[in-house]
Chains A and B, each alone.
Chain A
Amino acid sequence: MSVTRPVAVPGRVPLGTRVAKRLTGGALYIIVLVVGVIWLIPTLGLFISSFRKASDITGSGWWTVFTHPAQLTFKDYTDIFSNKGIIQSLWNTVLITVPATALVVFLGALAAYAFAWIDFRGRDWLFVVVVGLMVVPIQVALLPVASLYGKLHIFGTILGVVMFHVGFGLPFAIYLLRNFFAAIPRELLEATRMEGGSEWTIFRKVIVPLGLPAIASLAIFQFLWVWNDLLVALVFSNAKTQPLTVALQSNMRQFGSNIDILAPGAFLSLSVPLIVFFAFQRYFVQGLMAGSVKG
């Protein structure tokens, strides 16, 4: 008879606990679902609004498209693509972002290589300075650089905006890349040296290819940083050289009447970072994580 007695199978959870777990599991999914929806709704609202006429946006909620899908239209987008000012500012964003990213990556990689593999007096001390510079708030440099640019006649130019971004991008770039470059096996560098390669050759043929993952993270981080910037461009650009963020910002004060520019413009502005995010998620996350030290 003892055979028929239910034997507690090791590892088998009592029924009560299982039910409780199932219940808390259900609650868990509901919480996750609610949080996810809360996080999605704001962006969804902008996205849908960008496909509605201004009169519809100010007249009824974007959620009414679910019951009245007829109001969806591409008009805002066709309007914004024929708006010379907005298109110019989008182009300016590209003209600022690409060189500012390329320069930071290139100059940062050069300096990081020096910090990792070239001995010079005060190297460690200088690296500490670089780490310290990472958190300097840009507010402390705005006024002096503005007057410096005035003297150099580059105030209001794209060059000025780019150089400011390069300056404030470099400390983090050097910090990130130096840590990665330092992990490259020494033998690889020495082998190239044996073959008579110059430092420049080592940099090009060994450091850059092996450091590519870190360089990618840095490039993405810097790209987004500059693409999304408002403050620097607000100070150093003018009406002709302003990027998309500044152009849109100037429409913010009359939010209601400019919503037909703001909604598609903002979506245009965030679509590029979103594409980068989904295409390079790994590097993106790593770049941002590493960038958490940056101020």
Chain B
Amino acid sequence: MDDSLSETPAAGEDPAAGPPAASEDLAAGPAPAAVPAPVPAPIPVPASGLPAGPHPLAGHGGPSPLRIPVHVRAGFLIPAALILLAIIIYPAVDSVWLSLHNHDGSKWVGLSNYKTLFTDQATLKALKNNVIWVVCAPTIACALGLMFALLSEKIRWSTAFKAIIFMPMAISFLAAGVIFELVYQQDPHQGVANAVAVGVHDTFAPSSKYPGAHPRPDHAKPASGGSFTSVDTYTAGSIANVPLVGIQAAKLPGKAAQAAAPAAAPAADQIEGTVWLDIIYGGGGKPNQLDPGKKGMPGISVKAIDTATGKSAGSASAHNDGTFTIKGLKPGVKYALEIPGSNFAEPYRGIQWLGPSLVTPAIIASYLWIWAGFAMVLIAAGLASIPRELQEAARVDGANERQIFWRITVPLLAPVLLVVLVTQIINVLKVFDLVYVIAPGSTLPDANVLAVHMWSVSFGGAQDQGLGSAIGVFLYVLVLPAMYFNIRRLRNEKKEGR
């Protein structure tokens, strides 16, 4: 494996200074054909804002022109120019024209498509989601990238770590979509995200063993929270039978034993009884009787409620044969038995990742999985280019690590962070594949973004060229500041270089 991920430029060497280093190597090369293989390719962008090394054009006075006949010049330029004209320039202009027309381009409608863009509910939703994307994704990607870059500086096998984080960059959004569709599967037995969610949930709040079980309606009435309260009342010293139905005998835990009546008569301050499943697998037996074949329901908790005050006076949990003993009751008081709803709660099924409310954050998470590595590599290159002496000097002057980080490292990294942010914003504005692939049809409207909406409006059924073009043009306008940013950076590079 190549080790470019672990490569840290020598002190003082700008990570972006591929070209100068390369040109030296090239100049030293004996013959044009014998290029030293590991010449670093130029990285014109990433750290260009850092204290830059000499521009490629520096050193030999820049590429001053050679005198060349017109047809030769044309031969080099024209193929590319023609394609650029046909595929980008003319279409971009034509889109503006189309956006001022109706759905099939037959009628001039002025700015009405742009008005639709800001009034139509579906489009507004897409716009709103784009705002969420632009606010969250680039900043989090940047923060993760910075964190990972700092981490990888401090560990020994940083190459492997960086390769793992960077690897998703090679994967298509479609494959990433399939990958995360699997991760986000609703069933905790399929989706790893919900498997973890359920695992964590059940660790802190164990799920019930008897979902769906309940007393017969003539025995108890349902109360709040899925609880049941007995119709009959009991006094201390008596026996209470609690037959339950509603689940299959096969679902009982293995330790459930033949249901039995309490072995001894209850003491004066106790209520004793049995909780059992009042069904025999395969039929037989009589309701409300402890027939052979009926099993106790171990673990079911039963509460004694003082009917006068409505307060709980004691509780107990059933043994393997279903028997329970509630102790510490007062003689003469009438108690109702309550079976709390927690006995019957449906098991926790995990989070609906791709449901309407979480679909956008879930897709943003998959985006971060892909792009954090990109931010990390750029920022790591920037970190490596910060002169160690500055940090050392600050340390000697008594600055603590946090001060060094915020007052020296971050300001010096600012240009790189800006490049990462701008790049990510452009990316995020145009995000299409991930949303289109991951969002299920039912929640696609909730996850919609402009690029996806543009596709659905233009090609996905509506065939509205006017609105589609208006969205395209609008996206174009949104990236214009980035275009300005790039051009200005190019200008600066040139100025520094010459």
> Taking beta carbons and an 8 Å cutoff, which residues of A are in contact with B?
25, 28-29, 31-32, 35-36, 39-43, 45-46, 49, 57-63, 107-108, 110-111, 113-114, 116-120, 127-128, 130-146, 148, 163-164, 166-168, 170-171, 174-176, 179-180, 182-190, 193, 198-199, 203, 205-206, 209-210, 212-214, 216-217, 224, 227-231, 234-235, 245, 248-249, 252-253, 255, 259, 262-263, 265-267, 269-270, 273-274, 276-278, 280-290, 292-293, 295
Contacts and interface: CB of A to CB of B under 8 A. Distances in A.
A43 B95 contact: no
Contacts of B429: 137
Q: Which of B42, B459, B490 lies at the interface centre, i.e. has the most chain A CB atoms within 10 A of its CB? A: B42
B369 A42 contact: yes
7 contacts: A140-B476, A164-B87, A168-B88, A180-B19, A180-B22, A252-B437, A259-B182
B455 to A, nearest CB: 7
Contact of A107 (B44, B83, B487): B83
A140 B174 contact: no
A132 B486 contact: yes
Contacts of A144: 90-92, 94-95, 98, 469
Contacts of B75: 110
Interface string B61-88: 1111110100011011101110110111
Contacts of A143: 91, 94-95, 98, 458, 465, 468-469, 472
Interface string B330-352: 00000000000000000000000
A231 B189 contact: no
A255 B160 CA distance: 33
B43 A167 contact: no
B308 to A, nearest CB: 52
B23 interface: yes
Contacts of B2: 280-282
Contact of B33 (A138, A184, A209, A255): A209
Interface stretch (B163-171, B266-274, B276-284): B163-171
Contacts, number: 387
B202 interface: no
B170 A234 contact: no
B183 interface: yes
B65 to A, nearest CB: 3
B111 interface: no
A281 B172 contact: no
Interface stretch (B148-156, B206-214, B227-235): B148-156
B465 to A, nearest CB: 5
A32 B151 contact: yes
